């Protein structure tokens, strides 16, 4: 017989995911990256929020050794150990403390075969994978690689002030419909997300979370903006 306590535990509410991509903004590289990562860590702990940060590979170690939230790489290359000067290895980012990686971001698109190999390597070294796609059709196609999450971001809205959830709600709906079968696949949406309304709308439309960058990295007071973004969500 399932006890009441067990039933309550199994009904644990899904917590929407917030991934903050630091990109290569000056405000989010080196010492600035560490400062921003500590703010994200503080807010995540204070609000019990599901916040992940995706940082430059050169900052993974310095950040992951000082925060408790998951730190992801922004990219890995499809190569193993060997003679690959300048490449970013899945194994190396894992050893530096990353627990996941973005792949195929619209600012770093990959050939399909390269993407598939990169997902395989990421999994081999225990990294969670977030594969980006510019629309629902591509999102559905990359699902075949079995990434942990698919993030759909219309490129034309990236870096702007109008969010995907307000400008193109149909993209969010369509992505959820095409990508989430049997609620196994996690769909994130991103581009132009700046505030609590944008986040709530994305979740109401069926997304499991958001991927954002400039709204936090370029904010004058990132802590205040981040708290405002996630309030009442967690
Ligand atoms: O990776 C997130 C990104 O592409 C969206 O950027 O600045 O529109 O939040 P932004």
Strands 128-133 and 149-152: parallel
pLDDT single digits (tens) 168-221:
999 999 999 999 875 567 999 999 999 999 999 999 999 999 999 999 999 999
- Dihedral angle, C-alpha 104, 130, 225, 40, nearest 10 °: -120
Mean pLDDT of the chain: 93
Segments in 11-135 forming alpha helices (H): 30-47, 60-64, 90-96, 112-124
CA distance 108 to 102: 10
Q: The whole model's pTM is what? A: 0.93
Strands 149-152 and 17-21: unpaired
Expressed in angstroms and rounded, the spacing between residue 211 Cα and the centre of ligand 1 is 7
Please identify, by atom number, the ligand 1 atom nearest to the C-alpha of residue 160: 8
Residues marked active site are found at 105, 153
Q: Identify which of 211, 226, 229 to mutate to test ligand 1's pocket (most ligand atoms within 8 A of the CB).
A: 211
pLDDT single digits (tens) 21-41:
999 999 999 999 999 999 999
pLDDT single digits (tens) 79-116:
999 999 999 999 999 999 999 999 999 999 999 999 99
Q: What tokens were used for 51?
A: 């916040």
Q: Identify which of 155, 158, 165 to mutate to test ligand 1's pocket (most ligand atoms within 8 A of the CB).
A: 158
In residues, how long is the chain?
A: 234
Cross-strand bridge partners of residue 72: 54, 100
Q: Which of 105, 109, 34, 102 is nearest to 65 (CA)?
A: 34
Q: How many CB atoms lie within 10 A of CB 91?
A: 15
Q: Is the pLDDT of residue 123 over 90?
A: yes
Strands 17-21 and 51-55: parallel
Inter-residue contact 217 to 23 (CB < 8 Å): yes
CA distance 35 to 62: 11
Q: What tokens were used for 106?
A: 């619209």
> Which residues does a 6 A CB cutoff place in the pocket of ligand 1?
21, 105, 153, 158-159, 190-193, 211-215
Expressed in angstroms and rounded, the spacing between residue 23 Cα and the centre of ligand 1 is 9
Please identify, by atom number, the ligand 1 atom nearest to the C-alpha of residue 218: 7
Report the SS3 class of residue 37. Answer: helix
């Amino acid at each position: 017989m399932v006890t009441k306590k067990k039933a309550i535990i199994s009904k644990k509410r899904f917590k929407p995911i917030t991934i903050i991509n630091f990109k290569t903004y000056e405000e989010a590289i080196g010492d600035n990256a560490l400062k921003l990562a500590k703010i994200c860590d503080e807010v995540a702990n204070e609000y019990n929020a599901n916040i992940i940060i995706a940082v430059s590979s050169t900052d993974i170690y310095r950040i992951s050794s000082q925060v408790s939230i998951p730190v992801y790489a922004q990219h890995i290359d499809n190569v193993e150990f060997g003679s690959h000067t300048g490449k970013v290895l899945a194994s190396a980012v894992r050893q530096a403390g990353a627990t996941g990686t973005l792949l195929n971001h619209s600012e770093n698109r990959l050939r399909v075969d390269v993407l598939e190999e990169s997902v395989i390597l990421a999994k081999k070294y225990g990294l969670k994978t977030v594969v980006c796609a510019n629309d629902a059709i591509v999102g559905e196609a990359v699902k075949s690689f079995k990434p942990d999450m698919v993030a759909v971001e219309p490129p034309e809205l990236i870096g702007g002030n109008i969010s995907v959830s307000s400008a193109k709600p149909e993209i969010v709906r369509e992505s959820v419909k095409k990508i989430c079968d049997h609620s196994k696949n996690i769909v994130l949406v991103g581009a132009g997300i700046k505030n609590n309304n944008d986040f709530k709308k994305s979740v109401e439309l069926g997304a499991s979370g958001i991927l954002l960058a400039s709204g936090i990295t370029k904010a004058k007071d990132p802590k205040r903006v981040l708290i405002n973004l996630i309030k009442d969500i967690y």
